Amino acid sequence: MSAFALNAQQKVSGIITNRETQEPVKNVEVYDKVSGVLAKSDANGYYEFTTQKQTLNLVYFSYEFKILEITITVENDVVLNQQLETFGEALTVVEITARRSKVFNLSRLKDVEETAIYAGKKTEVVLVEESMANLATNNARQLYSQVAGLNIYQNDDAGLQLNIGGRGLDPNRTANFNTRQNGYDISADVLGYPESYYSPASEGLKQIQVIRGAASLQYGTQFGGLINFVMKEPNPKKPLEVITRNTLGSFGLYTNFTSLSGTSNKWSYYTFFNYKKGDGFRPNSEFESKNIYAHIGYQFNKNTSVTAELTYLDYLAQQAGGLTDTMFNEDPYQSNRARNWFEVDWLLYNFKLAHQFSEATNFTFNFFGLNASRNALGFRTNRVDQVDPNTERDLIKGDFNNYGFEGRLLSKYQIFNKEATFLIGSKFYKANNSQQQGPGSDGIGPDFNIRADEFPNYSDQSDFDFPNLNVAVFGENIFYLNDKFSVTPGFRFEYIKTQSEGAYKRINTDAAGNVIFEETVEDNRDFERNFVLLGLGLSYKPTTSLEAYANISQNYRSVTFSDINIVNPAFAINPDITDEDGFTVDFGLRGNYNNIVSYDVGAFALFYNNRIGFVQKEQEDGSVVSERGNIGDAVMYGVESLFDFNLKKILKLNTDFSFNYYINTSFISSEYTKSEQPGIEGNKVEFVPDLNLKTGLKFGYKNLMANMQYTYLGRQFTDATNSVASNISGVIGEIPEYDILDLSISYRYKMFKLETGINNVLDKAYFTRRATGYPGPGIIPSAPRNWFTTLEVTF
């Protein structure tokens, strides 16, 4: 039993004071340069942590003080009081930014954070507060500029939806990632419909965490991994802080973001309201959005806290429709759809309990839920160039009601006199969603009422309920074989029960519109399965500037109810469509060399079985139809790299300057290795540009910052047949290569901050998406040259 002893832990504690005033200093972070944050000083300057290590390289960090680094030997409990030196003058914003991002490698997650394990995983963290992106419109191309290999749909100018893929995964509404906000699910239905119609306001974000590969074990089964939006936290130093940001931009864009934040005794809060309105860069593409977020927290004591969060989003957008290739070449910003509308009503809630049983053991419990709806209305014939006849429109209504809870327990212990960290967790998730498809009104405006009585001969009518149940148990364990090498095995057990209860109508009419055939088809399905996913992560840290990592993890994706029950004139559904599975492998090198260069170079392979996609099929009458179904087995593999060079240090510039150059590249190859469909084996996989490049310069002088970014993506296919030419719906065909240049500048003066920029400086006409349904079908153009200006005021 001694091999699993929890003793042999020594306590290190002390008081941190200001050398000049001898007053205590709070919120000083105490780091181990290898494993990350160990403690933070309280209001009395006191800090405390336990360790089994005999030698520690400690760093004391606070933005207002000079960094203190020491090496200590720990044989017994140690009292280690420290004094920090202040700077001779106040730091500029540029200098604070440099201290955040270069002194410590905060762009990657530590081995352990709260009740999550990231050892051996490919993790990337977008520090949103330091970003030079156009935050008012959630410009994903800029926000994720240093996350390797992401493929992003760019088809609206307000950032109302997030569309991220990568490594051959369809970017549509980020459906191949598990999307979370502060650790809880935010998509429509994690299993049955994992699309994200809500995207958090970037102006309210602190970080965006992207975890690939082995993340499936802790967060779900997705091939993409996890995207977790970390919201800003309450200001710990003020009872009230007010920040307001107003943005004007091209095409009638106006946004307002106003937040309130503060801490009083044991209570803390953060809330914001975000309003967006614009005309859009095409005719028939106006939008209006309202987003409210509220967080309130109560700290019972240093070990126990509770938080509650509420998020509400309401937006209405007119949709200009899709284009054929011919239409795009004639005028990429034209629209022949004036009656297409899209509406989202999204309510999220979460309650979290966090408790620290001891220095070694943490527990968190999240109870979360969603009450939401999505309505899509319009004329969407498969002939995109057809003039709207102003008859009844297609209407699809979705209601999403789900709730769940997730508990996690993480404990640090010793095994055979070596450190180890154990995580066990479980998740319960229950959804009761419904979907209707039927005739909408023949009017112009956003009328989201089904008019079945008015249009009884409408052919594509259906009404379904989708009760889903998911229970999961997951666990991981870090075994530190020594101070440099760790092994992290993990598992996830999944029980999934998806159901479909409802009926659809089949109505055929003759040329005169008379009904010649009509039937109602009951379609009740019950699909129950359970399985175990396994994974393994390895990490080797020979020095503080180098880590070698590798991981392998199994993946799984359920067929969604949109794959089965939505009737779409642009394509057909194979009735034998079924789930996908496979596994992901990652390995690479990453680190920060002497604050001169931050780097992450790695290779990956994604093995995909029963991949769902589109294939062109010839019918008996000689026509060709796009069919969605299981295409076959595929493999995607490639090399991803990010290098961020600190030119300030290389050029030996003084502290008034910051100067960085980064280059983010992804080289990917892909192939269908097996398929029962003729002509598919050996083809390239969809949504895989062979080169994905983002590079830029970031320059600062005192409180002035400037950023220039260049983006290039090679051509992509959109169907497994590798069609280059498009069809009449514009759904099938290649996405040509494109490149984009963006510029942005910001300046801060006391309580004011001014931001401005030009996106798509060279005014390239391009597109990144061929939509299969709404907002198309067809080519959805991306925005031409546009500008924005934001004024921020902090009280």
Is the CB of residue 583 less than 8 Å from the CB of residue 636?
Answer: no
CA dihedral (717, 722, 726, 727) positive or negative? negative
Across 185-193, average pLDDT:
89
Cα–Cα distance for residue pair 686/611, rounded to 1 Å: 10
Is the CB of residue 350 less than 8 Å from the CB of residue 782?
Answer: no
CA distances from 67 to 99, 353, 728 (A): 10, 34, 63
Asked if pLDDT for residue 271 goes beyond 80, the answer is yes
**In which element (H, E) is residue 207 found?**
strand 205-211
What was the pLDDT predicted at 309?
98
> What's the mean pLDDT when you consider all of the chain?
89
What was the pLDDT predicted at 1?
38
Weakest-pLDDT range from 60-64, 550-554, 562-566: 562-566
Confidence of residue 31 (pLDDT cuts 50, 70, 90): confident
What was the pLDDT predicted at 516?
75
Cα–Cα distance for residue pair 274/244, rounded to 1 Å: 10
What was the pLDDT predicted at 499?
85
Cα–Cα distance for residue pair 566/596, rounded to 1 Å: 53
- HEC sequence for 105-153: CCCCCCCEECCEECCCCCEEEEEHHHCCCCHHHCCHHHHCCCCCCEEEC
CA distances from 621 to 459, 517, 569, 629, 723 (A): 21, 21, 17, 21, 21
What was the pLDDT predicted at 69?
87
444: which DSSP letter?
A: S
DSSP string, 523-585: --EEEEEEEEEEEEEEEEEEETTEEEEEEEEEEEEPPPHHHHH--BTTBEE-TT---EEEEEE
Confidence of residue 36 (pLDDT cuts 50, 70, 90): low
Q: Could you report the per-residue pLDDT of 391-438, keeping only the tens digit for each?
A: 999 999 999 999 999 999 999 999 988 889 999 999 999 999 999 999
Residue 48, number of CB atoms within 10 A of its CB: 15
Across 497-523, average pLDDT:
78
Asked if pLDDT for residue 560 goes beyond 90, the answer is no
Weakest-pLDDT range from 53-57, 59-63, 86-90, 459-463: 86-90
Determine the 3-state secondary structure of 203 from DSSP. Answer: helix
Is the CB of residue 651 less than 8 Å from the CB of residue 659?
Answer: yes
Q: Could you report the per-residue pLDDT of 750-777, keeping only the tens digit for each?
A: 899 999 999 999 999 999 999 988 888 9
What was the pLDDT predicted at 437?
92
Tokens coding 460? 């594509």
Q: Which domains are seen in the chain, by residue range? A: 10-88 (2.60.40.1120), 112-228 (2.170.130.10), 229-794 (2.40.170.20)
More confident site: 35 or 135: 135
In the chain, the amino acid numbered 335 is S
Give the chain's length. 795
What was the pLDDT predicted at 65?
85
What was the pLDDT predicted at 565?
64
Residue 522, number of CB atoms within 10 A of its CB: 8
Across 668-693, average pLDDT:
94
Asked if pLDDT for residue 105 goes beyond 80, the answer is no
Across 98-113, average pLDDT:
61
Chain centroid offset of residue 584 CA? 18
Query: Which residue from 314, 355, 361, 311 is spatially nearest to 184, judged by alpha carbons?
Result: 311
Asked if pLDDT for residue 246 goes beyond 80, the answer is yes
Across 312-340, average pLDDT:
96
Q: Identify the bridge partners of residue 603 per DSSP, sorted by sequence position.
A: 587, 639
Q: Could you report the per-residue pLDDT of 581-595, keeping only the tens digit for each?
A: 999 999 999 988 888
Across 106-130, average pLDDT:
86
> Between β-strands 253-264 and 241-249, what pairing exists: parallel, antiparallel or unpaired?
antiparallel
Query: Which residue from 18, 9, 19, 17 is spatially nearest to 80, judged by alpha carbons?
Result: 17
Q: Could you report the per-residue pLDDT of 348-376, keeping only the tens digit for each?
A: 999 999 999 998 999 999 999 999 999 99
Which residue do the tokens 């958090």 mark?
Answer: 200
Query: What percent of the chain has a predicted confidence (pLDDT) above 70?
Result: 93
Query: Which residue from 53, 83, 89 is spatially nearest to 71, judged by alpha carbons?
Result: 53
Cα–Cα distance for residue pair 311/292, rounded to 1 Å: 6
